[in-house]
Amino acid sequence: MAESILIKKKTKKEKENSRSTKGEIVFNFFNMAFFALITFICIFPFYYLFVNTISNNDLSSRGMVIFLPKGIHFTNYLQVLRLEGLGRAAIISLSRTLIGTILTVFGCALLGFIFTQKQMWGRKFWYRFVVITMYFNAGIIPWFIIMMNLKLTNNFLAYILPAVIQPFFVILVKTYIESIPAAIQESAELDGAGTMTVFFKIIMPLSKPILATITVFAAVNQWNSFIDTLFLMTDSKLYTLQFVLYRYMNQLSSLANIIRGSQGGSSISASIANMQTPTSVRMTVSMIIITPIILVYPIFQRFFVKGIIMGAVKG
């Protein structure tokens, strides 16, 4: 009997403790409402772009499409994707993003690991030498002269080589590796593992969160970049997708006329073709640019938070 009474008292106390106070309920409600609002603010611009690209172009240009699509059609995407040079530019952008991201992740991971090795000669000096480049640079003209002297104008390597080492990524990787117990590397070295064996077989597998984080950063930087194309490339065969679309964005009115004219003999109805406007082209181009990154990010999202926290906080 005594035991059952004690159990009942404990359950009553647990229930009382588990009940939320009115203040907690109010706080939780406003907390969820606030973050729901922030989520809506972040997502709505992408939704707004997409809805306008599949809606009646005339209504879209007059700002009459806000939440729900009107007169749904996918002609905008079909017409923009038929623009001259767009396919080749997409291949260049995909190639630079894939190759550049892989080399950037490997280069920054290797350099970050080397800076954690106490036997490295002048380790602190070289680390600070790399970090200081985050804050000071020579400027665009000296950069262009250097790239020209290195024969990197009209050269695909101009997209890859300058981005192999990123000081910010090196800092993140170095800080993350320093959070890994040193005893792991010491035990591997006692078993006969060399420095590179430790890097490839121990450090790299343990550093997946931070590597995934810098992979996202590097891929976004490579995909969105067009300034290097603007300054270094005159050969249209090396134009990136972003640069081609940037040029088209600066010629929206004429581009809309070109797209209308190109549909003269197609099976698409003239009414839809004639509705093509600069606004529809602008929004469709924007969606084409941002869609690949939106699709890639969820793959690495589970590593992202852990990697950026571990790579930014030493302890």
State pLDDT tens for residues 218-237.
988 898 888 889 899 888 88
- Check whether residue 104 and residue 71 sit in a common domain: no
- Does residue 52 sit within a domain? yes
Q: What residue type is 264 in one-letter code? A: G
> Do residue 105 and residue 214 come from a single domain?
yes
Q: 20 is in which domain, residue-wise?
A: 2-75
Q: Is residue 129 part of a domain?
A: yes
Both 139 and 61 in one domain: the answer is no
The verdict on residue 59 lying in a domain is yes
Taking 60 as the threshold, does the pLDDT of residue 100 lie above it? Answer: yes
Residue 214 in domain: yes
pLDDT higher than threshold 70 for residue 306 = no
95 and 27 in a single domain? The answer is: no
Residues 120 and 233 in one domain: yes
Residue 181 falls inside a structural domain? yes
What is the value of pTM for the model shown? 0.74
Domain count, the chain: 2
Cβ(242)–Cβ(97) under 8 Å?
Answer: no
Where residue 95 falls among pLDDT bands split at 50, 70, 90?
Answer: very high
Same domain, 224 and 91: yes
pLDDT at 263: 53
Phi, psi of 225 (to 5 degrees): -70, 135
The string of pLDDT tens digits covering residues 288-302 is 888 877 777 777 666
Task: Tell me, yes or no, whether 201 lies in a domain.
Answer: yes
